[in-house]
Amino acid sequence: MRLTRRSLLAAPFGLAGGLACAGVAEALAPPLRIFAAASLTDALQEVGRAFAARGRAAPIFNFAASSTLARQIEQGAEADVFFSADEDWMDYLAQRQLIVAQTRTSLLSNRLVLIAPTDRRFSLRLRRGANLAAALNGGRLAMADPTSVPAGRYGQAALTSLGLWDSVSSSVVRAENVRAAMRFVELGEAAAGIVYATDAQAAGARVAVVDAFPETTHPPISYPMATIAGRIDARTRDFSRFAQSGAVDAIFRRHGFIVR
């Protein structure tokens, strides 16, 4: 039976009241809590605004290093969806049965670049035998902590592959996430930094890209998304579909991500 406004008004209280309660329950449902890698900050905030423009509650974001977020989720943090900057930290949650396996999908990729403050001369080609230590000229190299943060691990792998890690490791300032590493460079507290290409784009004129690391020097950069165990509902299914739509692909590309 097709329900019209008139039929609802004439319906028995149980039917009309039940439908009204369902609508109220949907309206009162808490917004999605999305835990996401710091490098996704600008892109996902725009995605959140686009999602809200469809009449949905605006998501609440928690941006940090993937390692930090995974451990927060492991410790019981209230999260509905997790975006990691690598597969390893999503594996970490999967091994503990803390994500819904069938919702896991790898959406994006990125590039790794060397940046420097725009007001300083810094020239280097990233290849084997390059003298990065000399280019730093006694300054610091900012990067996300390579012991746990994906951007840092990619960065150390790339420097090791080029034979440069040993010569600069003592100059590395380890940041809590990739955006924190970029801030060291923006503020001139580091002579150079290793970040994603999307971070450098977000910084605009405040930093300059010196060179991009060859993709063969580090593991493939991959951003998987998954719903947290026990959080499957209409809201998470709706957001998952939206995050994989063409409209969102355009947002990610505009922010410099490579859409898979």
**Residue-wise pLDDT tens for the chain (260 aa)?**
333 333 333 444 343 444 344 344 445 578 999 999 999 999 999 999 999 999 999 999 999 999 999 999 999 999 999 999 999 999 999 999 999 999 999 999 999 999 999 988 899 999 998 999 999 999 999 999 999 999 999 999 999 999 999 999 999 999 999 999 999 999 999 999 999 999 999 998 889 999 999 999 999 999 999 999 999 999 999 999 999 999 999 999 999 999 98
For residue 100, is it within any domain? yes
104 and 226 belong to one structural domain: yes
In angstroms, the CA 32 to CA 61 distance is 8
What CATH number corresponds to the domain at position 201?
A: 3.40.190.10
The candidate with the shortest Cα–Cα distance to 32, out of 14, 17, 12, 48, is 48
Give the pTM: 0.86
Q: Are the beta carbons of 140 and 190 closer than 8 angstroms? A: yes
**What is the distance, to the nearest Å, from the Cα of residue 177 to the centroid of all Cα atoms in its chain?**
11
Co-location of 225 and 185 in the same domain = no
Angular region, 163: left φ>0, alpha ψ -120 to 50, beta rest: left
Non-local (6+) Cβ contacts of 37 within 8 A are 63, 64, 65, 66, 69, 83, 84, 85, 150, 177, 178, 223
Range of the domain at 101: 30-109+221-259
Provide the b/e sequence for 82-112 (b: ≥16 CB within 10 Å). Answer: bbbbbbbbbebbbeeebbbeebbeebbebbb
Rounded CA-CA distance 194/173 in Å is 11
Residues 169 and 248 reside in one and the same domain: no
Gyration radius of the chain over CA positions: 22
